[in-house]
Amino acid sequence: MEDILTLFGFGPTGWGGALLKATGMTLSVAACGFVLGSIIGSLVAWAKLRGNGVVRAAANGYTTVLRGIPDLLVIYLFYFGGSALLTSAGRMFGADGFVGVPAFASGAAAIGVISGAYQAEVFRGAFQSVSRGELEAARSVGMRSVLMFRRIVIPQVLRLAMPGLGNVWQLVLKESALISITGLVELLRQSHVAAGSTGRPFEFYILSCVIYFIIAISSTRIFNVVEARMSKGFGRMA
């Protein structure tokens, strides 16, 4: 037990500091990817609902492909493919040399693009659940589109999307572990390093499981609170 405390501790031979930092990295890359995914998701949801034939087909193609191939492949593709693309484009525009994409940026982008496909479905579902009557009521009192969008649609969609977004966040959190293959020192990568140097994989992988689990539970709590606050004044609708 004492041994474990030294191993996990913050002393000179302990891995506590490094693991804590890595946990911060996990949270940051997951959060950036999630926000990016929200932007992509809402654009794609809009394309699916309001776009013309071509735009809608492209949006459907995007969600189908992204949900049909392993996330590990998408991450590899972003990590290696991203630089190749930017570099060729950059060269042609006169930038000299290569354009590198740091592991953090390519990881967050990969998570964004993957989770965007799920968030698109969440937003689309939420938008479709906004009651037609409210929109008609808004129009009949003379609200214009922009105002109606801001006052009626966005608040309602956000409220209705909350449970779905909570699920996607959990997904994103777990997905961030896959970013370890690109060398970004997040929680799992740091656990590999610690396991390899100490020969104690069991302890370190269990510890990282526990950390992921704690983050997952706390975020569920937070999402529940936010959801409850947003739903004030609304009876639970089925």
Partner 1 sequence: MDMPFMAEAFVSLLRGLPLTLNLAAVSMVAASILAIGLAWLRMSDVAPARATAIGYVSFFRGTPLLVQIFLIYYGLGQFRPTLQAWGLWPFLREPYWCALLALTLNAAAYASEVVRGGLLSVPAAQVEAARAVGMSGLLLYRRIIIPIALRQALPAYGSEIIIMIKSTSLASVITMMEVTGLAAKLIAESFRVIEVFVMAGAIYLAINFMVAQTIAAVERWLSPHLRAAPGSILPSEIAHV
Partner 2 sequence: MTSFNSIIAAVAVVGLLLGHGANAQEKQWTKITIGTEGSFAPWNYEEGGKLKGLEIDLAEDICRRAKLECSFIVQDFDGLIPALNVGKIDAVMSGMSATAKRAEVIAFSQPYATGGQTFGIQKGGPLEALPFKGELINLNDEASALDKIEKLKAALKGKTIGVQAASINASFLDRYLKGIVDVREYKATTQHDLDLSAGRIDAIVASYNYILDAAKKPGNRDMLTAGPRFIGGVFGNGSSIGLRKSDVKLKAMLDEALIASFADGTYKNISEKYFGYDATPQYKR
Stretch that binds partner 2, among 100-108, 130-138, 143-151, 165-173 (CB under 8 A): 100-108
* Tokens describing residue 53: 């034939």
Q: Which of 6, 34, 62 is nearest to 215 (CA)?
A: 34
Four-residue CA torsion sign, 114, 163, 34, 184: negative
Closest CB to partner 2 among 184 and 215? Answer: 184
Compute the distance between CA of residue 92 and CA of residue 103 in angstroms, rounded to an integer.
Answer: 24
Four-residue CA torsion sign, 126, 127, 130, 131: negative
Asked if 79 touches partner 2 (CB under 8 A), the answer is: yes
Interface with partner 2 (CB under 8 A), residue from 53, 68, 70, 94: 94
Asked if 24 touches partner 2 (CB under 8 A), the answer is: no
Compute the distance between CA of residue 169 and CA of residue 224 in angstroms, rounded to an integer.
Answer: 13
Compute the distance between CA of residue 148 and CA of residue 139 in angstroms, rounded to an integer.
Answer: 8
Asked if 188 touches partner 1 (CB under 8 A), the answer is: yes
Asked if 201 touches partner 1 (CB under 8 A), the answer is: yes
Site string for partner 1, 49-88 (x = CB under 8 A): -----------x---xx-xxxxxxx--xx--xx--x----
Residues that bind partner 2 (CB under 8 A): 12, 17-18, 21, 79-81, 83-84, 87-89, 91-103, 181-183, 185, 192-193, 195-201
